[in-house]
């Protein structure tokens, strides 16, 4: 079959894989190829067990794979064939040199850019999908156009706003698609090519365009605002615990103001995921580079409150378990940074696990999808840890359970049975406020929610 366009995604991760699958699903007239330097990852995409867990993803991949969606190991040839190249490689926080711990590490993105330049034999539109510091596109254009004389490269910014766990829904029905381009004739032409692709399934009024720098910055700012909401409600959860108020009641009352809105106001053990912290630190770094110290400090506060929330959770466990955790068995329910994903990157569970181990507790970790990642995360750290699939088995003989991830499964468990199998007094720390606290208390547990009075038996 003759395809109308050849699209290439470089980077088969949480953004590249699902985005490519959705594009192939919605546009059977295009050939969509995904490549990655990690060959094993490509093999997994070609198997029945995809490398990431995302509701609805497997169904879409199954329908399109081999039809117009291909996962390939051949980067060179596919760069040659593609007219449009989407780049979704990782840009983690730099761990070395200038800006370590703050700035984005651009080595993978730059290597990809150099590959593209090396293998390209015809004009290309290169689309930034990953979150990048403002003005990265400009640097990339410089690399692209530094040789290959007559080949034209147009760089577009098209940040991906999908959230993990709801990626398919977000991709199918996005709030908006943002495309940033240069305002030159060729930049605007490239932009129209991308608009046309999205128009296959996204209403035109939701496809918005801007200059490249504003588009790049919008992605950082969207994540910073979202994280700020979580830190705001978490800061109030500390206040509620101190003052005897209920953070859910406060969130409900505040969220009903239509100017504020009711989403993203769930207090919890802290935000995680690959984006929030990395993007805010990047924003803070950029602000400092521009000499905007007050602005930098303001946004850094969002990350500081997140650290505070995680530490507060651990200290509350320590204090309420009679100031010693030595040899105590603690079951961590959930390890993923949020429900419906197997991703544990920056999960608050990692921090809590480390701290509990420092207090010499014994950990039993369970999670329906993220147990293998949890094992990998905890490998370096060591300590007394077991990984158990079945939650009922995991809680056996434990002194405490702490809910780290809001998997629906955990709110549906038989807590009478769990209570019976635990050591007494049995403690539950609900780091996501998903359990029926009164019911647990009536069963016999001591219950410690976030931002609400604890339900504790008289001593
Ligand atoms: C985020 C953005 O939502 C998405 O637009 C962007 O493309 C990538 O970063 P993601 O990291 O997948 O997506 O998850 P998100 O749903 O935003 O949650 C991030 C963290 O905040 C999770 O740890 C979650 O548990 C926490 N959170 C979220 C809360 O603690 N309370 C809330 O009310 C909402």
Q: Go through the domains of the chain in sequence order and give each one's CATH number.
A: 5-202 (3.40.50.720), 306-448 (3.40.50.720)
For residues 52 and 342, is the Cβ–Cβ distance under 8 A? yes
Q: Among 449, 459, 445, 452, which residue's Cα sits nearest to residue 415?
A: 445
CA of 131, closest atom in ligand 1 = 7
pLDDT at res. 101: 87
Pairing of strands 153-157, 5-10: unpaired
For residues 11 and 87, is the Cβ–Cβ distance under 8 A? yes
**Pocket test residue of 16, 275, 432 for ligand 1, highest count of atoms within 8 A of CB:** 275
Q: Which two tokens stand for residue 375?
A: 């094992």
Q: Which of 27, 130, 240, 275 is catalytic?
A: 275
The whole-number average pLDDT for the span 1-27 is 95
**268 band by pLDDT with thresholds 50, 70 and 90:** very high
**459 band by pLDDT with thresholds 50, 70 and 90:** low
DSSP, collapsed to helix, strand or coil, labels residue 268 as coil
Q: Among 398, 391, 377, 397, which residue's Cα sits nearest to residue 435?
A: 391
pLDDT at res. 201: 98
Tell me which of 348 and 100 has the higher pLDDT: 348
pLDDT at res. 439: 98
Q: Strand ranges (DSSP E) for 88-239?
A: 124-128, 153-157, 177-181, 207-211
Distance 22 CA to ligand 1 centre (A): 21
CB under 6 Å to ligand 1: residues?
A: 160-164, 223, 226, 230, 264-266, 268, 271-273, 275-276, 337-338
The answer on pLDDT for 87 being more than 90 is yes
Handedness of CA 99, 104, 110, 111 (dihedral sign): positive
Distance 245 CA to ligand 1 centre (A): 25
Q: Which two tokens stand for residue 298?
A: 């303001």
Distance 184 CA to ligand 1 centre (A): 36
CA of 234, closest atom in ligand 1 = 30
Q: Among 181, 75, 182, which residue's Cα sits nearest to residue 118?
A: 75
The answer on pLDDT for 91 being more than 90 is no
The answer on pLDDT for 149 being more than 80 is no
Average pLDDT, the chain: 95
CA of 162, closest atom in ligand 1 = 7
Does a cis peptide bond (omega within 30 degrees of 0) precede residue 114? Answer: no
Distance 163 CA to ligand 1 centre (A): 7
The whole-number average pLDDT for the span 187-192 is 97
Nearest CA to ligand 1 atom 5: 161
The angle subtended at Cα 100 by Cα 99 and Cα 106, nearest 5°, is 75
**Pocket test residue of 229, 276, 431 for ligand 1, highest count of atoms within 8 A of CB:** 276
* Residues forming a β-bridge with 104: 93
Distance 162 CA to ligand 1 centre (A): 10
Does a cis peptide bond (omega within 30 degrees of 0) precede residue 208? Answer: no
Tell me which of 179 and 136 has the higher pLDDT: 179
The arrangement of strands across the sheet holding 177-181 comes to 69-72, 30-35, 5-10, 84-87, 124-128, 153-157, 177-181, 207-211
The residues, any chain, with a CB within 8 Å of residue 456's CB and separated by 6 or more, are 320, 446, 447, 448
Q: Which tens digit of pLDDT belongs to each residue from 360-400? A: 999 999 999 999 999 999 998 889 999 999 999 999 999 99
Q: Among 224, 223, 248, which residue's Cα sits nearest to residue 234?
A: 248
Q: Which tens digit of pLDDT belongs to each residue from 284-303? A: 999 999 999 999 999 999 99
CA of 227, closest atom in ligand 1 = 21
CA of 274, closest atom in ligand 1 = 11
Distance 403 CA to ligand 1 centre (A): 17
The answer on pLDDT for 31 being more than 70 is yes
Asked about 240 being catalytic, the answer comes back as no
pLDDT at res. 100: 87
Nearest CA to ligand 1 atom 26: 271
Nearest CA to ligand 1 atom 14: 163
The residues, any chain, with a CB within 8 Å of residue 107's CB and separated by 6 or more, are none
**Pocket test residue of 338, 350, 410 for ligand 1, highest count of atoms within 8 A of CB:** 338
Nearest CA to ligand 1 atom 25: 338
Q: CA–CA separation, 350 vs 138, rounded Å?
A: 37
Q: Which tens digit of pLDDT belongs to each residue from 426-450? A: 999 999 999 999 999 999 999 999 9
The whole-number average pLDDT for the span 100-110 is 84
């Amino acid at each position: 079959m003759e395809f109308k366009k050849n699209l290439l995604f470089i980077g088969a991760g949480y953004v590249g894989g699902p985005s490519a699958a959705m594009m192939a699903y919605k546009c059977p007239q295009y050939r969509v190829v995904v490549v990655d330097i990690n060959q094993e990852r490509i093999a997994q995409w070609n198997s029945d067990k995809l490398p990431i867990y995302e509701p609805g993803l497997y169904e879409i991949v199954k329908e399109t794979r081999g039809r117009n969606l291909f996962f390939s190991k051949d980067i060179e040839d596919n760069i040659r064939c593609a007219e449009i190249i989407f780049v979704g490689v990782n840009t983690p926080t730099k761990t070395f040199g200038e800006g370590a711990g703050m700035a984005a590490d651009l080595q993978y993105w730059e290597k990809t850019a150099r590959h593209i330049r090396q293998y390209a034999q015809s004009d290309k539109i290169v689309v930034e999908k990953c979150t990048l510091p403002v003005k990265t596109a400009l640097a990339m254009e410089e690399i692209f156009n530094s040789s290959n004389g007559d080949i034209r490269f147009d760089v577009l910014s098209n940040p991906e706003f999908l959230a993990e766990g709801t990626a398919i829904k977000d991709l199918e029905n996005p709030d908006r698609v943002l495309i940033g381009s240069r305002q030159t004739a060729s930049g605007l032409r490239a932009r129209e090519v991308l608009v046309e692709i999205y128009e296959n399934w996204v209403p035109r009024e939701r496809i918005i365009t801007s200059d490249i720098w504003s588009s790049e910055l919008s992605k950082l700012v969207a994540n910073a605002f979202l994280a700020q909401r979580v830190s705001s409600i978490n800061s109030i959860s500390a206040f509620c615990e101190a003052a005897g108020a209920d953070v859910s009641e406060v969130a409900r009352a505040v969220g009903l103001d239509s100017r504020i809105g009711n989403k993203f106001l769930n207090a919890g053990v802290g935000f995680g995921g690959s984006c929030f912290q990395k993007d805010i630190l990047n924003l803070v770094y950029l602000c400092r580079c521009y000499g905007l110290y007050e602005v930098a400090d303001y946004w850094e506060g969002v990350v500081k409150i997140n650290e505070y929330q995680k530490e507060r959770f651990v200290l509350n466990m320590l204090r309420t378990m009679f100031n010693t955790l030595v040899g105590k068995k603690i079951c961590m329910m959930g390890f993923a940074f949020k429900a419906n994903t197997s991703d544990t990157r920056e999960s608050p569970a990692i921090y809590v696990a480390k701290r509990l181990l420092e207090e010499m507790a014994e950990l039993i970790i369970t999670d329906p999808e993220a147990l293998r990642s949890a094992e990998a995360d905890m490998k370096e750290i060591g300590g007394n840890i077991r990984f158990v699939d079945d939650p009922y088995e995991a809680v056996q003989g434990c002194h405490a359970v702490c809910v780290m991830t809001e998997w629906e499964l955990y709110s549906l468990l038989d807590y009478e049975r769990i209570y019976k199998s635990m050591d007494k007094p049995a403690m539950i720390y609900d780091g996501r406020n998903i359990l029926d606290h009164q019911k647990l208390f009536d069963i016999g547990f001591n219950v410690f929610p976030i931002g609400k009075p604890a339900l504790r038996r008289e001593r």
